[in-house]
Amino acid sequence: MEYGEKKTCNNGGGGEISKTLLRRYVQFLKLERGLSENTLEAYTEDLRKYLDFLSADGKDFRAVGESDLQQFMAVLADVGIQPRSVARIMSGVRSFYRFLFVEKEIVQDPTELLESPKIGRRLPEVLTVGEIDAMIAAIDLSTAEGHRNRAILEMLYSCGLRVSELCGLKLSDLFLDEGFIKVEGKGGKERLVPISKRAVKELELWFVDRNQISIKPGSEDYLFLSLRRGTPLSRITVFYWVKELAAAAGITKNISPHTFRHSFATHLLTGGANLRAIQAMLGHECISTTEIYTHVDRSRLREEILSHHPRNIRDDFSK
């Protein structure tokens, strides 16, 4: 079912958003922002939450003020939604009103002066090289999925891929002799990423097993497939498998496939890689997004200083 064919969002009091307006809004997001299907789904779901809130008070979405928006944020916080999620929801609301203003559905954007909640900067979880090696070693190569799963972990870590990018990789995106792969990131933007020799070796072992799979029509070009269905792997499948593998390797950190991307960037920075080069490999549009890894590096440096500097070590003379 297409977005434009979803049921109308009811806002009561004459403020119902029509299917036509919703369809136009989604087209606006696609053209102006280049958002992926998953992000479009999230934006429309967040919009539904907002319209339901207005409907409960009998308010028209075309006639709200800043105080109504602040009240909505307060309600989200009261039900336990974290500031980061509130900020994400309000980003969708801002986008909706920007669309209404551009399309002359409203004469003033009520979100123009609205302040988002302070979310702070959360440092991502990072694995050590030893922990990554432990997870790879925990993969049972006697199983049919063994070589595929080792290749997946190597690609996530060696290339710093998002899980959606991994699942969307195709054989035609691989240029192994030249030592790089073509990745389609957010908004359909393509980038070239170097691939390690170890990852290439794991892929070659996976190709032997892949050739034995009965592949469904239309899936022939996808790199990573379900052995049972012969179709591309889903992000959810990779997510749960990584969780299970971490537990099998005795790792207690709260990790996901994205943790390998964080680890990729952090280890590059620690090894002396240029921040702009890391930005290009990760496909970040803004350097400020990549700069989170400098904070991770500083945080680790602080821990090292506190643990090993003589002024921070209590010896017998301080007793």
- Annotated catalytic sites, by residue? 162, 186, 258, 261, 284, 293
Burial of 145 (0-12, 13-18, 19+ CB in 10 A): middle
Gap between the Cα atoms of 94 and 222, Å rounded: 37
Burial of 114 (0-12, 13-18, 19+ CB in 10 A): middle
What are the backbone dihedrals phi and psi of residue 46, each rounded to the nearest 5 degrees, phi first? -65, -35
Cα-based distances in Å from 9 to 17, 90, 160, 305: 6, 17, 39, 55
Q: Position 291: which residue type? A: E
Please report where in the chains the tokens 């479009």 appear, as a residue.
40
Q: Contact, 226 vs 182, CB < 8 A?
A: no
Please give the structure tokens belonging to residue 248.
């099998």
Buried b (16+ CB within 10 A) or exposed e, 172-202: ebbeeeeebbebbbbeeeeeebebeeebbeb
Q: What is the dihedral of CA 254, 278, 191, 89, to 10 degrees?
A: 50
